[in-house]
Every structure is written in C-alpha cells, then in structure tokens.
C-alpha cells in the first residue's frame, strides 16, 4: 500500500525562505469574497446556504430561500467588503474570489484591482464539493477560470476551492495554469507537491487565524479574542524568524464576518502591532509563490516510496547485510512520503527487522562478516562492508593487530554463535578493538540485543549515505 499523505514535511529543520529584505516573517492576508456565490435556489442550487454565517447551527432549507442568510451574505458585499477595503487597501492582499460572486460585484472587483490586490480563484460557486463527481468539479474549475478571466481581465494565478473534495488538489494540478494551489493547511511554509510527475507549488492556508471561528461553536466570541490570537501567532512566528527560521503567517478574513464593526477593530489592532516590528514582509500569496519558485525551485530527488519493487530491492536490499528480505517486506508494507528520508526509511526497515522471528534475526546477524577476517582478506565483502572496514582502518592492520582481531573474532563467535557486530563508522580501529575486548565477556542474551541494535545502527548510517 502506498500512503498518500506526507506527515514529515520539512522535518526538524525547515529551509530558510530567504524572504525579501531578510524579513523575519511574511504576513499574508486573504479576503474571501463569496457573497453572491453561495448556495441559493436563485443561483440554481437545491437549498439555501448554511455555512459561515452569524446563524450558528444553520441548516439548509431545501427548495427555499433563506432571507436572513441571504441578508447576512448581502452585508458582506454591501458593507463588510468596503470596511475591510479601507483597512487593507495599502497592503498586498490576496482575494479568494468565487467567480460567480465576482461577476455579481463589479464595483468591488474594480476596488480590488485599484488597490493592486491579487485576485485568486475561489472556484465557480461557494458550495461543498465533497460529493461532486470528479468530472463535474473539473468542469466547474474550468468554468471558474474562464469566468474569472472575463470579469477581471486575466486568468487567476492561484486556486483555493475551500470546500474541497479528495479530487480538488489533483484537479488543480491538472488544470496546469496555476502558480500555486492553496487547498492545504499542512505547513507554515510553501512546499512542492508532485502529481503525475509534475511539481505544483502549494502555499498553505489557515483555519485557525481565521475569522471563520466567529461562526463556530468553539471559536472567537469577541474581536479581543481574535486580536489576541493573531498577535500571539505573529509573536511566536516572529521570534522563530529572529532565531533563524522565518515562516509565513496566513490570516483568513470574510467580508460578512470580519467586516462587522466589532471585529474589524481586531484587524486594525493587529496591523498596528505588526507594523511596529522591523523585518515584516506583507505579501500577496502570488508574491510568496513567485519568490519561493525563484529561491527554492523544485528539486527532483530519489523517492523510495515511488520506486517499483525490483528497483527498490536492488537499491536497498543490501542495507541489512546480505538480507534482502528486509527490503522486500518494507516495499510490500505501507510506504509513503515519510519513508523517502533516510530517517523514515531507516525507521521502517528497523521495524521490519524487529518484527522478524528469532531465527530470521539470527540469520541477519550471521550474515555479517568478521571484522578484518578472512572474507576481508579475500576481498569478498559487500561493497558497504568493504568501505566501512576500510574507513576504520581495518584494511591496513599490522600482523600483530590482525592476529589480535582474529583471536577475538574466534573467541566471540565460539561463545555467542554469531560474529561481533559494531557500526564501524562510529569508531576508529582502537575503539573497535576496545569494544570487542569489553563485549566478549557479556552473556549471550545481552550481546544478542547489543548486536541487533548495532545492525539497526549500521543500516541507519548506510541509508544516510545512500539518501543524502
């Protein structure tokens, strides 16, 4: 089984985004423009809207219009948009514009363009696509792009569906014309997603620093709570940037929610807080996407989880000395992006090794050669073992040293029934000899556990070399 989700991402040390001007943080504000694109039988839908409004717990009204719901959305277009526009018109904002909503709001679109805001597509309609057939959603995306072009004068460079299906990101990749997709909440930095061999930049969005939480049961009750959350998010990310790991902060706003007076104050206070700091880059999502593509272009790399079985076993079958069954079982088990790193693949191979039965694990131990033994002298070691022993100086022993190693090898094997095993990359010749002298007196159960741990360590070091 191939696991589709990437639970590793950038790992412990994310890349330095190298924001313009050495900024410590990139602040990205989204204004969602959905008013006029929501569910309504007047828009050809089966029921009224029930999502993201002041009516907590609202339900669709099949076959009926909902006056209060429509009025709430109307407020976003009539008043909320203009309030946010006044607050943000001097900042590089990104608008997530539902195409049919933009079509019904020519004055607002003109104001967005006059402010220099990026207008990304938010799909054709503000509806739930989770059950939409793939071909229907693909058609809607194509229609959204064309309608967006007609209304704004150019095609959108970014795409955020929002109420997605499991097909949305694939369809966005396949559309082929987007500089970035935003249907991800997976990171604090942009990242490259590969679909059918083609890289697509993802610029993640947010559900936490988002005024949508005013419309949920567990969320913001007041503008003070919203400001506190935005300020704390900014302060943590700013401190990380000052420490050498800059990130991106996304903020999501909706005209009918944050556009209300009691909430708009939180936006004003946040802007004052952010502007009081040096090294803050306010950017549109397209600014961020273009910067990332230029500074961190996609770099093809070996992805073990995507290799066919024969290629995988040929490449990694020797990681556990002369024991290809470990690689075979790894490939046959669940694999995903987390196994495309040295640490991830080492962890899975160690798991498979530990899951093997007693005899199989003993066979792995016995597959290891003696250190500086007859196989080494006859040049019959595996390539990895040969390089490892040479790196520790075991290929250049004096006669006295060779005699001492030989005697210790024979005594160890006679006592424990398997060769002495140690990760020689971690030691020099003197350290290896000292370890042999110390460990030979261990009881066999203790030494068996030690040897198995060393086998795992050897595999980890080999994978670090193979996947660096």
Pairwise CA distance, residues 182 & 185, whole Å? 8
> Which of 286, 259, 272 shows the shortest CA–CA distance to 32?
259
Q: Is the CB of residue 31 less than 8 Å from the CB of residue 95?
A: yes
Residue 210 bridge partners (DSSP) = 252
How far is it, in rounded angstroms, from Cα 103 to Cα 97? 10
Q: What span, in angstroms and rounded, lies between the C-alpha atoms of 408 and 113?
A: 80
Q: What is the CA radius of gyration of the chain?
A: 30
DSSP 3-state of 176 = coil
| 296 carries an active-site annotation | no
Going by C-beta distance under 8 Å and a sequence separation of 6 or more, which residues neighbour residue 392?
424, 425, 427, 428, 429, 432
Residue 299, classed as helix, strand or coil, is coil
For every residue of 328-390, which 3-state class applies, written as one string? HHHHHCCEEHHHHCHHHHHHHHHHHHHHCCHHHHHHHHHCCCCCCCHHHHCCCCCHHHHHHHH
Catalytic residue, from 148, 254, 368, 416: name it: 368
Q: Do the bridges between strand 180-181 and strand 191-195 make them parallel or antiparallel, or are there none, so unpaired?
A: unpaired
Catalytic residues: 368
């Amino acid at each position: 089984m191939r696991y589709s989700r990437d639970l590793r991402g950038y790992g412990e040390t994310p890349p330095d985004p190298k924001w313009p001007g050495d900024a410590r943080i990139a602040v990205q504000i989204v204004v969602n423009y959905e008013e006029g694109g929501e569910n309504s039988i007047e828009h050809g839908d089966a029921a009224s809207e029930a999502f993201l409004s002041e009516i907590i717990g609202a339900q669709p009204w099949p076959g009926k219009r909902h006056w209060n719901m429509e009025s709430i959305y109307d407020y976003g277009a009539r008043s909320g948009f203009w309030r946010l526009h006044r607050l943000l018109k001097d900042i590089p904002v990104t608008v997530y514009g539902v195409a049919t909503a933009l079509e019904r709001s020519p004055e607002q679109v003109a104001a967005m363009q006059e402010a220099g805001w990026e207008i990304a597509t938010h799909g054709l309609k503000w509806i739930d696509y989770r059950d939409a057939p793939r071909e229907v959603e693909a058609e809607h995306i194509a229609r959204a792009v064309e309608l967006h072009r007609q209304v704004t004068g150019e095609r959108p460079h970014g795409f955020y569906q929002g109420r997605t299906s499991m097909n949305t990101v694939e369809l966005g990749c396949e559309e082929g014309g987007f500089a970035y997709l935003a249907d991800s909440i997976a990171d604090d930095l942009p990242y490259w997603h590969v679909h059918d061999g083609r890289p697509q930049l993802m610029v993640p969005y947010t559900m936490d620093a988002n005024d949508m939480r005013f419309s949920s049961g567990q969320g913001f009750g007041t503008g003070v709570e919203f400001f506190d959350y935005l300020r704390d998010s900014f302060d943590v990310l700013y401190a990380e940037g000052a420490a050498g790991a800059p990130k991106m902060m996304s903020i999501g706003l909706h005209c009918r929610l944050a556009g209300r007076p009691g909430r708009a104050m939180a936006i004003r206070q946040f802007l004052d807080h952010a502007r009081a700091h040096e090294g803050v880059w306010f950017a549109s999502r397209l600014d961020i996407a273009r910067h990332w593509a230029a500074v961190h272009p996609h770099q093809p790399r070996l992805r073990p989880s995507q290799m066919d079985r024969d290629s995988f076993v040929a490449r990694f079958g020797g990681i556990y000395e002369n024991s290809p069954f470990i690689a075979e079982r790894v490939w046959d088990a669940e694999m995903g992006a987390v196994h495309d790193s040295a640490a991830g693949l080492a962890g899975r191979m160690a798991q498979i090794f530990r899951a093997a039965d007693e005899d199989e694990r003993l066979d792995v131990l016995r597959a290891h050669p003696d250190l500086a033994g007859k196989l080494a002298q006859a040049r019959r070691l595996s390539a990895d073992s040969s390089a490892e022993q040479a790196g520790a100086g075991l290929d250049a022993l004096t006669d006295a040293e060779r005699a001492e190693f030989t005697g210790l090898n024979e005594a160890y094997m006679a006592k424990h029934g398997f060769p002495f095993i140690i990760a020689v990359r971690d030691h020099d010749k003197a350290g290896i000899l000292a370890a042999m002298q110390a460990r030979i007196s261990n009881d066999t159960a203790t030494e068996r556990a030690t040897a198995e741990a060393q086998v795992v360590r050897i595999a980890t070091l080999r994978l670090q070399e193979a996947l660096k």
